[in-house]
Structure 1
Amino acid sequence: MRLKGFRAFLLMLAPLFLLAPTTVRAETINLVGFGDSLMAGYQLPPEDAFPARLEKALREKGLDVSIANAGVSGDTTSGGLARIDWSVPDGTKGVILELGANDALRGIPPEDSRKNLDAMLAKLKARNIPVLLVGIYAPPNMGEDYSARFNPIYPALAETYGLELYPFFLDGIVTDPALKLDDGMHPNGQGIGVMVEKFLPVAERFIRAISAGG
């Protein structure tokens, strides 16, 4: 009788255990913003750089995200390839890859830029690190032939690797002097705000795919 009574007591407690709250600690999604001065936040306070502003906007959306700023002013795709292994540490859950603007400004052959970007993507793929690829357009003064060879690099690589692509990093600010520094090339704080606003939906989709294991 005592055994039967104890079993009955356990059966009565079982629903309480099922209903008891459980504490699950969500893991922060650590991203790296990897790029040049556009990513680094040229002449801006650290808190106004693109990675910091994007992180803030994503957290306001309820996403537990940390974005390290691995932007280096003046960097080219060859420079990025040389440092990507140590600039993207173990534990990184995703990379926002933005490079190529300085290649175009210096007239580096687009074929070389593509080769370097391809090599970076291959390295990240081998480490199972998802990438959000950020495109750039060649300056018009480089001529139609150069643009025709350079501009398709990003959509082609995105298709090859099955990546999320943001076609043009400076979308929304490139023709508005009020959103740029006095050099006429880099975004000011207001310009970064416009960039983040436009970039946010793509970043949200990228992060949710990481969270889902996609």
Structure 2
Amino acid sequence: MIGLTLGVLLVYANGASADPLRLLALGDSLTAGYGLTREDAFPAQLQAALTARGHAVMVLDAGVSGDTTAGGRARLDWVLADDPDAAIVALGGNDGLRGLDPAGTRDNLSAIVGRLQAEGIPVLIAGMLAPPNLGPDYGSAFNAVFPEVAAETGALFYPFFLAGVAADPALNQPDGIHPTAEGVGVIVDGILPAVEDLLERAGP
């Protein structure tokens, strides 16, 4: 009986009884898991990886296929209703694919991060890269948006959401854009240290 009581006390002392942190994954089809089962999509695989590392976290899937930074900005009230404690912002891929003005992408991303931070929500920006067919001038302007907004806002920054996956046929679906389940696993492995830094900012 004494051992059982001590065990219960240790669980409380370690915070295992606390509600899990609510981690928002705000993104597009790359976040939503286009072409994948829910279990294979980024939010589920990230939550599983964090749980395996001892984090009490619930990853909130706020990915909408086809969404741009403007779309993400427009639905902030909706996603904030889920009361997140921290947020990963993984938007911009569709801005690049459509060749949208990087100035607009910058404005939208800054507004998204600023709104989240105003609500006391720490942010991790997952950067995107422009398709090479749009040329070096566009690519330079677009690619600079993400690190510059991170520097201006103090948000955490992960340089490229698709690092290790982009342009690898073995890790992408036939469209060459959306990762397979294995590709999502590579994404999660890469971004995991940055997400753990984000959770530290969110606190217990």
Decide: shared fold, TM above 0.5.
Answer: yes
Could you list the runs of 5+ residues in structure 1 that have no partner in the other structure? Answer: 1-19
Deviates more, 1:130-139 or 1:79-88: 79-88
How many Å separate the matches in 2 of 1:94 and 1:186?
25
Residue 136 (structure 1) shift: 0.3
Residue 125 (structure 1) shift: 1.6
How many Å separate the matches in 1 of 2:130 and 2:44?
26
Could you list the runs of 5+ residues in structure 2 that have no partner in the other structure? Answer: 1-7
Deviates more, 1:82-91 or 1:180-189: 82-91
How many Å separate the matches in 2 of 1:127 and 1:202?
21
Provide the residue aligned with 1:42 in structure 2.
34
Q: Is the 8 A contact 2:167 2:176 kept in 1?
A: no
Provide the residue aligned with 1:142 in structure 2.
134
Aligned partner (choices 184, 191, 210) of residue 202 of structure 2: 210
SS at match of 2:125: strand
Aligned partner (choices 57, 60, 67) of residue 49 of structure 2: 57
Aligned partner (choices 103, 107, 111) of residue 99 of structure 2: 107
Provide the residue aligned with 1:129 in structure 2.
121
Residue 88 (structure 1) shift: 2.5
Aligned partner (choices 146, 150, 153) of residue 154 of structure 1: 146
Aligned partner (choices 179, 182, 185) of residue 187 of structure 1: 179
How many Å separate the matches in 2 of 1:61 and 1:175?
29
TM-score, scaled relative to structure 2: 0.91
Matched, 1:27 2:25: no
Q: Is the 8 A contact 2:122 2:202 kept in 1?
A: yes
SS at match of 1:133: strand
Provide the residue aligned with 1:83 in structure 2.
75
Provide the residue aligned with 2:84 in structure 1.
92
Runs of at least 4 residues off by over 4 Å: none
Letter in structure 1 aligned against 2:83: G
Residue 90 (structure 1) shift: 5.1
Deviates more, 1:175-184 or 1:83-92: 83-92
Provide the residue aligned with 2:4 in structure 1.
none
- Which is higher, the Rg of structure 1 or of structure 2? 1
1:16-45 superposed Cα distances (whole Å, 9 cap, x missing partner):
xxxx94735323100110000000100100
Residue 206 (structure 1) shift: 1.3
What's the Cα RMSD here? 1.4
Provide the residue aligned with 2:191 in structure 1.
199
Change (3 A) 1:77 1:21: closer
TM-score, scaled relative to structure 1: 0.86
How many Å separate the matches in 1 of 2:74 and 2:167?
32
